[in-house]
Chains A and B, each alone.
Chain A
Amino acid sequence: MSATRFTRLTLAPGALWLIVCFALPLALIVAVSFASRGEYGTIEGPPTLANYARLAGYGELDYDPFYARVVGRSVALAVVVTLVCGLAALPVASAVAALAPARRNWALAFVTIPFWTSLIVRTYAWQGLLAADGWIARLAAALGLIESGTALQPGLGAVVTGMVCDFIPFFVLPLYASVEKIDWTLVEAARDLGATPRRAWIHAVWPQIRPGAFAGAALVFLPSLGQFVIPELLGGGKIFFLGGVIQQQFGPALDWPFGAALASAALAPVLLGLALMASRRDDASAFLR
């Protein structure tokens, strides 16, 4: 068997699977976002921009920016979650990189184990942890921060807590890959030449960990844009985010073309980021090796 034939035979099944079951559905969802809803929830032509107009607030009735606000709120949530995850990931990545090499893999596994456990379980656990009789609420009440007997969920704070708890490992892995490779002699040189610790960090440390920080930020920001479970369980059903309204359109509302437009809005930054990454030749998967 020639090398070419071997490559074709081994690549074909998996590549075909991913094209049919991953690329094709995503292409379809973008295509359907330009269709309209038929009488019984069917998908009908001709091509229209009505779904996107509705998304922007210009629906059949008056101007109502409900969905535009949902998009804005989802982006804001994703930004906050990404920043907090970055702040939390930095000490973890530094502490792991400082361990003896033989212990680093186990430490990293320890950080990622929570990610591998069920998201539903971890999220509903926060419902209990933040409940009025949970120890966090009781501690906060004892400190006089909240009134005794108030629950810390549902609410925006609970949603952020659940999201951060879910996404931290995604930031730690790529950041660690960068932190581990830091050349500390550069930092020493900066300090010897009279840089303050702050300036040394900005000019000698940050440029070295920037690729990992960007990869981590992308791995948190993009998937968190469409997170469904956490806002659903910790938001109390009163604060709407993209994931929830997408599910609503594909579920009870049965307006798939509009749901497809909402899904395309969550997908657009991914495709944009991919194009950007391709042009910069960054390899976001480096940390998985």
Chain B
Amino acid sequence: MKPRWPTRLAALGVLAFLYAPIVMVVSWSFNAARNGTVWEGFTLRWYQALIESPEALGALRLSLGLALASTLLSTVLGTLLALGLRDRRARFLESLLPLPAFVPDVVFAAALLLLLALIERATGFSTLGFTAMLVGHVTFQLPFVTLVVRARLRDLDPALEEAARDLGASRSQTIWHITLPLLLPGVIAAALLAFTLSLDDFIVSFFTGGPGGTTLPVFIYASLKRGLSPVVHALASILVVLSVLAVAGATLLRSRNP
């Protein structure tokens, strides 16, 4: 049934509402006004200032390194998990996978901090900082990666794997030469989404990052406490553009049929 014009108008209104903050931040990053949000002309000055700020570049480097490392780990673990979940006996485990999406992020971050503190008390080994953030990021990425790869696996034609097996390939040969190459677009899409999740995380890094854990979102949060600065708009715009590119890439990969 075709929706009538009020429905379509309302849908467009909601989309405008969703995009308003992103579009505004990007436009402010090119705004010559030092204070406030009223347009005073185009400038690239804030991007220039950003390149000359060692703190901002340090945060960018930390965020990218953390996102790369956590994505690599979670993609490997998640792809394996998705392969194993094809076994019918793992159905219960599969039904639990979406659970992390329902848990408030502050609760997870606090719980992880608690675990790490107890480990430190028992062994004297402090993980707060990069290791803690890495563990936290992999944990919230893992279910996402698994669900995305699992969806791709469901769309694969089982006849291809069966043919390989019938022709004498072992299970690992079949996985390596047939399943994984067919799965690759789904795996890359999952990795792109995981990368975005890590790049945009604030809460887990804020709780477990320690003094040296200033990732981009933490840096932006700290700058906000000192008041909005146009340089923050430039930094935020870079973060937004990176995420949008990654998600568009993932969508492109996922929309291609296996």
| Residue A240, interface by CB 8 Å | no
Check if B22 sits within 8 Å of A17, measured CB to CB: no
Known A-B contacts A25-B108, A32-B114; the reply to A117 vs B240 at CB < 8 A is: yes
Compute how far the CA of A131 lies from the CA of B33 in the bound complex, rounded to whole angstroms: 15
- Give how many B residues have a beta carbon under 8 Å from the other chain's beta carbons: 95
Selected interface stretch from A48-56, A64-72, A206-214, A267-275: A267-275
CB-CB contacts below 8 Å: B212-244 with A: 216-217, 220-221, 224, 228, 232, 236, 239-240, 243-244
| Cα separation A128 to B199 with both chains bound (whole Å) | 23
Proximity bits, A167-192, B CB within 8 Å = 1, else 0: 01100000000000010100100000
- Nearest-CB residue, chain B, relative to A222: B102
Q: Are B104 and A113 in contact (CB under 8 A)?
A: no
Query: In the assembled complex, how far is the CB of residue B204 from the closest CB belonging to chain A, in whole angstroms?
Result: 11
B81-A26 in contact (CB<8A): no
Give the distance in Å from the alpha carbon of A233 to the alpha carbon of B148 in the complex. Answer: 32
CB neighbours of B136 from chain A (8 A): 21
Contact B106 A226 (CB under 8 A): yes
- Kindly report which residue of chain A lies nearest to residue B24, judged by CB atoms: A125
- Known A-B contacts A14-B77, A92-B14, A133-B36; the reply to A28 vs B118 at CB < 8 A is yes
Chain B residues contacting A6 (CB-CB under 8 Å) are 84, 171
The A interface, classified by DSSP as helix, strand, loop or mixed, is helix
B247 touches A285 (CB 8 A): no
In-complex Cβ contact of A26 among B10, B97, B106, B107 (8 A): B107
Known interface pairs A7-B87, A22-B100, A223-B102; A129-B20 also in contact (CB < 8 Å): yes
Interface: B57 (CB within 8 A): no
Known A165-B18, A246-B110, A263-B107; judge A21-B10 contact (CB<8 A): no
- Residues A221-235 near B (CB distance < 8 A): 222-229, 233
A10 contacts which of B80, B95, B151, B243 (Cβ < 8 Å)? B80
Q: Within B127-150, which residues are at the interface with A (CB < 8 Å)?
A: 135-136, 138-139, 142-143, 146-148, 150
- B17, A165: Cβ atoms under 8 Å? yes
Cβ B8 vs Cβ A169 within 8 A = no
